[in-house]
Amino acid sequence: MGSKRAMLGNGLGDVLDGMIARHNRFIDLFTGSASVAWHVAQHYPIKTLAFDLQSYSTVLAAAILQRNSPVYPDQIWNDWYSRALIQFESFSAPLSSEVDVAFVDKARAWGSEFDENCLIHAYAGHYYSPVQAAWIQALRNTVPAISPNREVCLAALVMAASKCAAAPGHTAQPFQPTETAIKYLQISWQRDFCADLYAALTLIAPLHARVVGEAHVGDANEVASRLRTGDLAFIDPPYSAVQYSRFYHVLEAISVGSTSPVFGVGRYPPLNERPSSQYSQRTTSLRATEDLLNTLASRGVSAIITFPDHECSNGMDAKMIKDVARGLFKIKTHSVSSIFSTLGGAATKKTGSRLARLKADEMILCLEPK
């Protein structure tokens, strides 16, 4: 999962600290892994709201934003595990200490016997071993019904699923049982899913917001039209010309609990069911940014924007955003160095290659109503 976590200790944390006290609400409009929303909600007595087109992001955000006291992981886990175990055993997942081509075939054949909307059918033998997929399905089917335990458990499930996925970085495509990649498949498939889940649960359980907030699926531009004076929006929009849903569709299906029939090596649901962002298209990214900043300015909303300072694959760079903001807001500019994922975006003149992770400067723009 991509993240602004590192930047919080490298300039962004100080910028937030300087602006939050003057505002009544903090709104993370592109929350992603929710690292910024988690940080603000935990450290400041301010209502924090988080939005994203992808529901897995809001699942992560909700686990901390939507409660102001800790939960106790052992009780939650023991109850959840015993409910899930009954289902897990009923799935009779095949097991093997050796991951070879024959076992991958067997795993896929076993998964294909299940209903084609279920997680086992979609991912067993691909992103997950049969045992991992059976646990994911059983745990998702038996997730607690009542808040806040439900949100905490869903987030832990997404985090463990991200950790165990047999894919290089993002879940665009799983490792295949080829001579060179089978060792990576074996490493991922041998992870103990329940141990990763329990670790995630114990990490999240003690963390909570100081003021109860909210997390919702939503389009940033539409959400912006409902904000008001006194709000501080955090804007970390996509910079890649490849849709985020291409990389996070597995986590998305797990957070929702099912998927439409998947296809291709990447096991994607149909394209028209994957969230699509105007910010991830070269032809619409500038227009979407202009509309967003115009809306925020017209509503007297302050904003912090982060963006790489070189041309990105969606055609945008920080200077273009600054040019849009100049006529609308009072601006303060900070620059920090950062490492970010290209998310498979095409090379640009400046980056020159398809490196998965790049070192680059990133600009932080602080915008206040004129």
Ligand X SMILES: C[S@@+](CC[C@H](N)C(=O)[O-])C[C@H]1O[C@@H](n2cnc3c(N)ncnc32)[C@H](O)[C@@H]1O
- Retrieve residue 87's tokens: 């289902």
Closer CB to ligand X, residue 1 or residue 185?
Answer: 1
Out of 14, 192, 219, 311, the only residue in the binding site for ligand X (CB under 6 A) is 219
Task: Please tell me whether residue 48 binds ligand X under the rule CB under 6 A.
Answer: no
Q: How many residues bind ligand X (CB under 6 A)?
A: 22
Closest CA to 265 of 127, 158, 368: 127
- Retrieve residue 108's tokens: 């896929």
CB atoms within 10 A of CB 27: 28
Closer CB to ligand X, residue 142 or residue 278?
Answer: 278
Closest CA to 19 of 365, 370, 358: 365
Task: Please tell me whether residue 111 binds ligand X under the rule CB under 6 A.
Answer: no
Binding mask 51-90 for ligand X (x = CB under 6 A): xxxx--x---------------------------------
Task: Please tell me whether residue 246 binds ligand X under the rule CB under 6 A.
Answer: no
DSSP one-letter string for 47-113: EEEEEESSHHHHHHHHHHHT-SS---HHHHHHHHHHHHHHHHHHH-----SS--HHHHHHHHHHHHT
Binding mask 169-208 for ligand X (x = CB under 6 A): ----------------------------------------
The distance from CA 170 to its chain's CA centroid, rounded to whole angstroms, is: 10
Phi, psi of 93 (to 5 degrees): -70, 130
Closer CB to ligand X, residue 32 or residue 73?
Answer: 32
Phi, psi of 231 (to 5 degrees): -85, 145
Choices 9-17, 33-41, 206-214, 261-269 (CB under 6 A): range interacting with ligand X = 33-41
Choices 32-40, 190-198, 249-257, 307-315 (CB under 6 A): range interacting with ligand X = 32-40
Closer CB to ligand X, residue 166 or residue 220?
Answer: 220
Choices 31-39, 62-70, 108-116, 152-160 (CB under 6 A): range interacting with ligand X = 31-39
Task: Please tell me whether residue 33 binds ligand X under the rule CB under 6 A.
Answer: yes
> Quick one: CA torsion of 84, 90, 95, 100, rounded to 10 degrees?
-100
Task: Please tell me whether residue 244 binds ligand X under the rule CB under 6 A.
Answer: yes
* Strands ordered across the beta sheet of 214-217: 214-217, 47-52, 25-28, 231-235, 302-308, 357-369, 329-341
Out of 4, 23, 39, 274, the only residue in the binding site for ligand X (CB under 6 A) is 4
Strand partners, 364: 306, 334
Closer CB to ligand X, residue 133 or residue 366?
Answer: 366
361: three-class secondary structure by DSSP: strand
Binding mask 254-293 for ligand X (x = CB under 6 A): -----------------------x-x--------------
Choices 9-17, 236-244, 326-334, 362-370 (CB under 6 A): range interacting with ligand X = 236-244
Task: Please tell me whether residue 309 binds ligand X under the rule CB under 6 A.
Answer: no
Task: Please name the amino acid found at residue 241.
Answer: A
Q: At what angle do helices 130-141 and 101-112 cross, to 10 degrees?
A: 30
Choices 10-18, 129-137, 237-245, 321-329 (CB under 6 A): range interacting with ligand X = 237-245
Residues found near ligand X in the complex (CB under 6 A): 2-4, 29-30, 32-33, 35-36, 51-54, 57, 219-220, 236-238, 244, 277, 279
